[in-house]
Structure 1
């Protein structure tokens, strides 16, 4: 695999039973690259290891006053050095390729899982945790994959050198072998403590990242309520915890580094002591002593690789566990063998028909605008997710069905094409407005139509001014998550993006909660006109939206309690009236005792005698809603 071939055509199906199994799976996916790195690494270190032999031969040539042997040895050493340089270059090239391809594979797997989970992801894993996994953890996993082949090459060459020393001079060879074992065993007991400290540092760093992300995302609101200093102090505390954990972690690795210096030093002293004794006995000549000393000096190099491999493995195991925790999440309950495409729905068979939720009894008739009112916002959010075919983790309710086919048995591509769910807090990605609106779509709805239905005219005007010359607003840049826009502007652009896709079923969760009454009324009219003949489900408690729906479904206590038009439910269902008008139970009872009067006697707000919140009749509602929009 070459870097130019990235991204991977198929990153594969990872083994997520444990972090270690995931690392083994990742290693097996790159056996070819690992074998190349092992070969080049062995050649590189072998050339380093044989240099002491020729150094001893050169010393012996000088002692014997043989210029020819010295010249020959010099030429051989030059050839070995050239081979060493070439092998080192290829080793570095292959090792870095292994690192990048492994990191890219993990990132592709994380991106695929994130796309499958959608909005369900952040309900199960903190956003800061996902960011840390996709950045720092991916790098550490790639580091282990890259370092393993160099570690294996170091083991092969070290064993070869030790074996050669034992054959050449058993006394020195056994001392060297025992010394290397002592060096490795002296570090091994320190690794579990280093792992724990590294994990603590990573955990606190993830918490600080999550807190910083939340603070930046809510900066507009924090300024509105004067809460910047409070959150700043929280981040200061989290940052200090990261600093303390980092210092404790650095102290442990400093201790490991010290052991790695002291133990090889003691080994070198012991070898020199033995060598001098052998030389004084006449068993070793000057050149042989130089050879032995240089060979032992070479062994300090693979010992450093052993430490690096230990560090890589120590850091990568917690990172792999965290990656597995994200990769192990599922969009839906497992069906059959756990694949995404199973059951009654073919991989390419489109879905259409009425949308039905067996758990609540909710039925959205095909081609109609259905409004859903829930007294519990959290339940409404879970129900909207289930209607999209991706229930939250732990949700044991049966899947919603479209045209009689369970959505969680459809392939991901079919389910996404059939049903689109816009969350209560949709995300705008950074880029130009044109890029934001370039989404997979049917082609039946133009961007101008969607922006008009979502009442984005003022947003386009404001964005056009940011281009500098008042040019095309489609070229205006939108900052990350649309933070330069107000809450209502973000909400309307997200609605326009959803309308452009033109899915078979569009599910909207509170799509107008951050806009003023005037704009909301126009959005309700535009939505009904643009989605005519298409199935639309809107979760809302706004009288303006409810009054324009073809049918209103009231969900109470987890079940459908009443179905009808907005005015029918106002006059006939006390619980519905309480949710929509925000009246207390005593006020609802009082209205019920006197009688609500004819349905037409009440305005769309549901309160008898109250003004109709139509923008033409009640323009005073706009400024208050505008203030709420600016602080959202």
Structure 2
């Protein structure tokens, strides 16, 4: 795999059972790249390992006054130099390629999982942690993947030097062969403590990132209530904890680095002292002493890779664990997934949408409005209607139900009698589209915004007209640079920040209308617009979606009055069904949500004339 071939056509199915298993899966997926890097690394480190022996041969040639042999040694040194240079360049190239491709694979997997889970992801995992996994953690995982081949090449060089020295200068070779393994494993007892300290540092850094992310997301609200200084103080405390943890972690890694410098230095002193005594006794030649000294000095370079691989694994293991935790999340329960066979057959067109948990029924081809007294329940119900099981915080199959009562085992929402969770994800997304109350607009032109999978039955002009976006088009055209005459070519800033909340909401609604799904679920689609615009939007939705199943979760009388059918959900189940006007007259709970009546106002509204006169008399007498 070359960098130019990215992204992967299919990043594969990861082994997300644990962090080490995920790292092993990544390594297996890049065997070709790892072998290339290992081969170039062996060439590079092999040249490094052969350099001391060539130097020793050259010294012997000088001592023995053999110019021809010295010339041959010079040619050998040139070859070794070329091997070191070429091997180093290609090792760096292939190692970086392994790093980038591994990071790209992880990012693709995270992006695919984000698209699969949708808004349910940030309710199962903190938004700050998702950001940390997709940025810093991805780099650390890639670091370990690319460090493996360089470490193996360094091990090859160390073995080559030790074995060669044993044959070249046996007395000194034995000393080196015994000392090098001791140096290599000397830092192992310190690694668990260093790893724990690094884990604490990353945990505190993750909390600080989550706090910063949440603070930025709610900055407008914090300014409104004067809470900026409070949260700034909290972030300062969190950042200081991160700093202290980083210093403690750095001290341990500094100690490990010191060991990797001191012990090889002691070995070098030992070899020089012992080798000098052997040379003075005539037991070894001067060239052998020089070769042994150069070999030990050369070993300092590959030995550093032992420290690097330890650090890389220490930092990448918790990162891989977090990535595996995100990648292991699913739309359905593992127990259901284990007993489920093939995906269900796509339901026939024109089926009703039914939620067994709440008892909500949205007849095919009808405009159904749903009223919930709890806004949070409305949002969770909208996601459930789109095939997303409600999480444990909001009530799911394994947790409390939407009403806060006993756990239930209700199946997923049914479309035409087929459970949405049993369908392929792409099929479920195509059949049912959910627009939440805070839709996101990505940067780009308006034409790109409407370039979404759609049936083709509804064009952008009709959707914009139904969503009452005429003033939005004018605003985009006015802010567009010179030469842009078509509002569809006007650019929208990131998240539509240059537009008002109502304008963003209407553009998102128009985008949803363009897709023309079989079932469209809208959660408070007009909460940010005025009543006159809201009334026209309600008429536009009813007209454009005629004959298609539409579910709107709202409490606005203007929207409810246009619906064919209104359902009141109270306490997590359907409490009443009828038209808007029918429910206003006969259902006090519905009237309380829609008209915002107090308990006293409802009691007075139910009194007859005689009873009302008595209440008024009591009020006058008490006054």
TM-score, normalised via structure 2 length = 0.91
- Quote how far apart the aligned CAs of 1:170 are: 4.0
Cα 1:487–1:234 shift into 2, 3 Å: farther
Q: Distance in 1 between matches of 2:282 and 2:580?
A: 108
| Residue 507 of structure 1: aligned partner | 521
Alpha-carbon distance, 1:554 to partner = 0.6
**Residue 166 in structure 1 maps to residue 166 in structure 2:** yes
Q: How many Å apart are 1:393 and its aligned residue?
A: 3.4
Deviations for 1:177-202, whole angstroms, at most 9, x for unmatched residues?
33223323331122222222322332
Q: CA deviation at 1:388?
A: 0.6
Q: Distance in 1 between matches of 2:603 and 2:178?
A: 90
Q: Describe the shift of the 1:566–1:318 C-alpha distance in structure 2 as closer, same or farther (beyond 3 A).
A: same
Deviation (angstroms), 1:350: 6.4
CA-CA distance at 1:536 after TM superposition: 0.6
Equivalent in 472, 479, 502 of residue 466 of structure 1? 479
Instruction: Name the CA shift for 1:229/1:517 in 2 (closer, same or farther; >3 Å).
Output: farther
After superposition, the Cα gap between the structure-2 partners of 1:473 and 1:251, relative to the gap in structure 1 and judged at 3 Å, is farther
Post-superposition CA distance 1:521-580 (Å, at most 9, x none)? 221111111111111101111111111111100111111111000111111111111122
Matches within 5 A, 1:134-283: 134-283=134-283
Indicate how the Cα distance of structure 1 residues 524 and 480 shifts in structure 2: closer, same or farther if over 3 A, else same.
Answer: same
**How far apart, in 1, do the equivalents of 2:129 and 2:171 lie?**
54
Aligned residues: 593
Query: Within 2, Cα distance between the matches of 1:98 and 1:343?
Result: 36
Match of 1:16 in 2: 16
One of 434, 439, 455 as aligned partner of 1:442: 455
> Does the Cα contact within 8 Å between 2:348 and 2:416 map onto a contact in 1?
no
| Aligned equivalents of 2:590, 2:341: Cα separation in 1 | 39
Per the alignment, residue 46 of structure 2 pairs with 46
Corresponding residue of 2:367: 369
Query: What is the CA deviation profile of residues 31-54 of structure 1, one whole-angstrom value per residue up to 9, with x for unaligned ones?
Result: 122122112211211111111111
Matches within 5 A, 1:389-408: 389-394=387-392, 395-396=396-397, 397-408=410-421
Counting only pairs closer than 5 Å after superposition, residues 66-81 of structure 1 correspond to structure 2 as 66-81=66-81
After superposition, the Cα gap between the structure-2 partners of 1:201 and 1:351, relative to the gap in structure 1 and judged at 3 Å, is: farther
Cα distance change on mapping 1:425 and 1:9 into 2, 3 Å: same
Partners of 1:479 and 1:247 lie apart in 2 by 41
Please state how far the C-alpha of 1:594 moved relative to its aligned partner: 3.5
Cα offset for 1:387?
A: 0.9
Question: Structure 1 CA distance, aligned partners of 2:221 and 2:443?
Answer: 20
Measured at CA, do residues 214 and 337 of structure 1 come closer, stay the same or move farther in structure 2, by a change above 3 Å?
closer
Secondary structure, in 3 states, of the residue corresponding to 2:186? helix
SS at match of 1:593: coil
What's the CA shift string for 1:148-169, capped at 9, x where partnerless? 0111111122122222223344
Q: Which among 414, 429, 433 is matched to residue 442 of structure 2? A: 429
SS for the counterpart of 1:359 is coil
Superposition map of 1:450-489 within 5 A: 450-469=463-482, 471-489=485-503
Cα gap change, 1:164 to 1:350, in 2 (>3 Å): farther
- In structure 2, the partner of 1:576 is 590
Q: Is the 8 A contact 1:351 1:402 kept in 2?
A: no
Change (3 A) 1:215 1:453: farther
CA distance in structure 2 between the partners assigned to 1:458 and 1:174 by the alignment: 85
* Structure 1 residue 443: Cα displacement: 1.3
Question: What CA deviation, in whole Å up to 9, does each residue of 1:336-380 have, x standing for no partner?
Answer: 65599834325xx76541101111111101111100011122222
* Cα gap change, 1:19 to 1:111, in 2 (>3 Å): same
How far apart in 1 are the matches of 2:156 and 2:578? 78
The question of whether the paired residues in 2 share the 8 Å contact of 1:352 and 1:418 is answered with: no
1:10-42 Cα offsets, whole Å, 9 max, x none, are 211111111111111111111122122112211
CA contact under 8 A between 1:335 and 1:409: conserved in structure 2?
no
CA spacing shift, 1:401–1:480, aligned 2, 3 Å? same
Is the deviation greater in 334-343 or in 422-431?
334-343
Counterpart contact for 1:389–1:408, Cα < 8 Å: yes
- Work out the CA distance in 2 between the residues paired with 1:76 and 1:181: 29
Question: Within 2, Cα distance between the matches of 1:220 and 1:377?
Answer: 21
Instruction: Judge conservation of contact 2:371–2:568 (CA < 8 Å) in 1.
Output: yes
Cα deviation per residue 1:430-474 (whole Å; 9 max; x = unaligned)?
A: 223222222111111111221222122222222222213374333
Distance 1:208 1:496, change over 3 A: farther
Counterpart CA distance in 2 for 1:48 and 1:227 is: 61
Q: Distance in 2 between matches of 1:413 and 1:592?
A: 51
Q: Distance in 2 between matches of 1:410 and 1:390?
A: 12
- Larger mean Cα displacement after TM superposition, 225-234 or 545-554: 225-234
Q: Does 1:378 align with 2:391?
A: no
Q: Which moved more, 1:246-255 or 1:66-75?
A: 246-255
State the secondary structure of the residue aligned to 1:57: helix
CA distance in 1, matches of 2:44, 2:141: 25
- Give me the whole-angstrom Cα distance separating, in 2, the residues matched to 1:3 and 1:341: 38
TM-score by length of 1: 0.90
Q: Distance in 2 between matches of 1:138 and 1:592?
A: 63
217-226 or 572-581: which moved more?
217-226
- Matched residues in 1 for 2:341 and 2:27: separation? 28
Stretches of structure 2 lacking an aligned partner (at least 5 in a row) = 398-409, 610-623
Secondary structure of 1:515's aligned partner: coil
> How far apart are 1:385 and its partner, in Å?
1.2
Q: 1:557 to 1:173 in 2, by over 3 A?
A: same
Instruction: Please give the alpha-carbon distance, in whole angstroms, between the structure 2 residues aligned to 1:188 and 1:309.
Output: 12
